[in-house]
Amino acid sequence: MVNLGHLVVRWGIASAGIFYRVERTGPELPAGPVLLVANHHNMLLDPLLVLRAAGRRVRVLAKAPLFEIPIFGHILRAVDTLPLYRVQDDRDQTHRNRLAFEETVAELSDGGTLLTFPEGKSHSDPALAPLKSGAARVALAAEQGSGWRLGVQIVPVGLTYARRQSFRSSVVAAVGTPIRVADWRPAYRSNPNRAAVELTRSIAQGLRRVTLNLEDASHRPLVEVADLISSRERVPSAGVSASPSPRACPGCSGSRRSSPG
């Protein structure tokens, strides 16, 4: 019997590849339980682009109000998406987060892969927004529940769009360096809340290394010109497209980066 959810995911990933010219960079995902964390600029396409980069079955965490949208809510359920109940959406429903939390921990404990967007919103700001600590808390809970033997790894994925609203423009899905959650065992034993804060800070550092972070959106053209010049220097004999590639944005000199952690 054909699984409707799988068909929807495959169609969505293929559609994302038609609308954008997608380039994946970085290492393959590690074996074992993985929590993918990504920046969030497009509510509908970002999850599909990350799923395309992952190349494996991934369960997505999404805010609960999305499940109430006609048709779209049915699609989310069909692809086995997990709802998150936020205070700003409906304070009376936040008690249901306990069940969602337990289900996410169980998914990691079974060796699965999850995707969440720790900024907690989609936005068009030129830099990463402050992160929520939910991803760190889920990963720490799963690892602690296994006696710190599970091997959960958090993998940052940075999405950089050249022209987000333009058909066949470029987007880079940059996979970053995995973060071993078990490394926070001493900090968790000392103070679980502080460990979650410190791990969230490490996640933010990892995401900044694979995303474009500008002080001001008006600086973007300067970064694109620098990328265009760099491309010509790398391939002097080849024709260069007038549309700059976003590949150089993570770590480019015009972006704001965190210091190595």
Alpha helices, H only, 127-258: 134-145, 185-190, 192-208, 220-234
Residue 225: pLDDT band with limits 50, 70, 90:
very low
Q: How far is CA 73 from CA 65, 70, 196, in A?
A: 9, 6, 31
Least confident of 148-152, 174-178, 218-222, 247-251: 247-251
What local confidence, expressed as pLDDT, does residue 209 receive?
A: 95
**Which amino acid, residue 131?**
L
Mean pLDDT estimate for the chain: 82
Instruction: Tell me which residue of 46, 13, 183, 30 sits closest to 118, measured CA to CA.
Output: 46
What local confidence, expressed as pLDDT, does residue 228 receive?
A: 47
Q: Which tens digit of pLDDT belongs to each residue from 170-222? A: 999 999 999 999 999 999 999 999 999 999 999 999 999 999 887 666 656 55
Q: Which tens digit of pLDDT belongs to each residue from 128-145? A: 999 999 999 999 999 999
Question: Facing residues of 61 across strands?
Answer: 82
What local confidence, expressed as pLDDT, does residue 13 receive?
A: 84
What local confidence, expressed as pLDDT, does residue 175 receive?
A: 97
Q: Which tens digit of pLDDT belongs to each residue from 80-106? A: 888 887 666 666 776 777 888 888 899
What is the rounded CA–CA span in Å between residue 131 and residue 183?
20
Please report how many Cα atoms fall inside a 13 Å half-sphere around the Cα of residue 215, on the Cβ side.
Answer: 4
What is the rounded CA–CA span in Å between residue 84 and residue 66?
10
Q: Which tens digit of pLDDT belongs to each residue from 101-122? A: 888 899 999 999 999 999 988 8
What is the rounded CA–CA span in Å between residue 35 and residue 49?
16
247 pLDDT more than 80: no
Count of CB atoms within 10 A of residue 66's CB? 17
**Which amino acid, residue 70?**
P
What local confidence, expressed as pLDDT, does residue 176 receive?
A: 97
What local confidence, expressed as pLDDT, does residue 68 receive?
A: 86
Helix, strand, or coil (residue 135):
helix
Contact 135, 15 (CB under 8 A): no
What local confidence, expressed as pLDDT, does residue 261 receive?
A: 36
HEC readout, 84-127: ECCCCCCHHHHHHHHHHHHHHHHHHHCCCEEEECCCCCCCCCCC
What local confidence, expressed as pLDDT, does residue 245 receive?
A: 46
Domains of the chain: 4-212 (3.40.1130.10)
Region of 209 (left: φ > 0; alpha: ψ -120 to 50; beta: rest) is alpha
What local confidence, expressed as pLDDT, does residue 124 receive?
A: 87
